[in-house]
Amino acid sequence: MNERMKNWQVVEKWAEIVGDRIAEHTRATGVDSKNLFVEVDNPMWQSQLFLMKESIIKKIKKYSVNIKDIKFHIASSSRSSEEHV
């Protein structure tokens, strides 16, 4: 199994890894060989998660993946408005 496929399990288990409260404000959107990409619903959560990044990566390591970093980005306003319709 290639690295990216192996890492994909983190996307599928994101809510389990971070818990319901964080999962309500975030969505794991993809991976590459070393990075997890996470969409965040606002800048406040982005800042908070940046501070929590190392502890989240430690939890991710339990899945025997090669994720070295998490890239947090703010969700586009079109996605946010679609969810609230």
pLDDT (0 to 100) of residue 5: 85
pLDDT (0 to 100) of residue 55: 97
pLDDT (0 to 100) of residue 43: 96
Determine if the pTM surpasses 0.75: yes
pLDDT (0 to 100) of residue 76: 86
Q: Which CATH class, in words, describes the domain spanning 3-83?
A: alpha beta
What are the domain boundaries of the chain?
3-83
Span between the terminal Cα atoms of the chain, in Å: 39
The Cβ-side half-sphere exposure at 17, using a 13 Å CA radius, reads 23
pLDDT tens for the chain, 85 residues long, are 577 888 999 999 999 999 999 999 999 999 998 999 999 999 999 999 999 999 999 999 999 999 999 999 999 865 444 444 3
